[in-house]
Amino acid sequence: MLLKVSRPKGSRATLYNPVMKARCVAAVVLAFAAMFANAQVEQIAAAYRRQSSAVQAGDLRALFSTFAPDAYVIDLKGRKMPITELRDWWTPHLKAKDASFTVKSIRLLSSTRDSATVRITRELRFTGRVNVATFEDTWLKTKTGWLLAHGQAVRS
């Protein structure tokens, strides 16, 4: 039995009305989509927190456990850095006593059930230097959690 919405006399605002029924279904679908997107962003934010903890601990292995095996980053000059180059870059920087990685903001740009693209602004500190940059990162959902597949620097 369909739920009947109370309405003023003469109005057609019931779930028997196809237009109202479509609007109600659309509202429910949008609500579930928003909950799904919020859950994805929170799970990806947790992966960034793991990266931050790994940087502060100087733990290269923990840092790269959040990366897909074929991950890469494209810098502002358009140069593609595969995961091997990323490891080489991070190795000396993680040895700095003041190394830190902080996410300042994160925004979902697009998503599917098993991938999501976010725009993050992050602050990276090491050896007295501070770099604030914005990236568009694409994450893949795997059986073990979200892994960073690739990133594109958009502003530094």
pLDDT confidence band for 37 (50 / 70 / 90): low
In b/e form, how buried is each residue of 20-39, taking b as 16+ CB within 10 angstroms?
Answer: beeeeeeeeeeeeeeeeeee
Which two tokens mark 134?
Answer: 């914005």
Which two tokens mark 42?
Answer: 């929170």
Q: What is the mean pLDDT of the chain?
A: 83
Q: What is the rounded average pLDDT of the residues 32-54?
A: 80
Identify the DSSP state of 113.
Answer: S
Q: Please give the span between the terminal C-alpha atoms of the chain, in angstroms, as a whole number.
A: 58
Q: What is the rounded average pLDDT of the residues 95-102?
A: 87
Identify the DSSP state of 111.
Answer: E
**pLDDT for position 1:** 45
Check if the beta carbon of residue 132 is closer than 8 Å to that of residue 53.
no
Q: Which domains does the chain have, with CATH numbers?
A: 18-155 (3.10.450.50)
Q: What is the rounded average pLDDT of the residues 119-144?
A: 92
* Coil, strand or helix at 102: strand
**Residue percentage of the chain with pLDDT more than 70:** 76
The H-or-E segment that residue 29 falls in is: helix 18-57
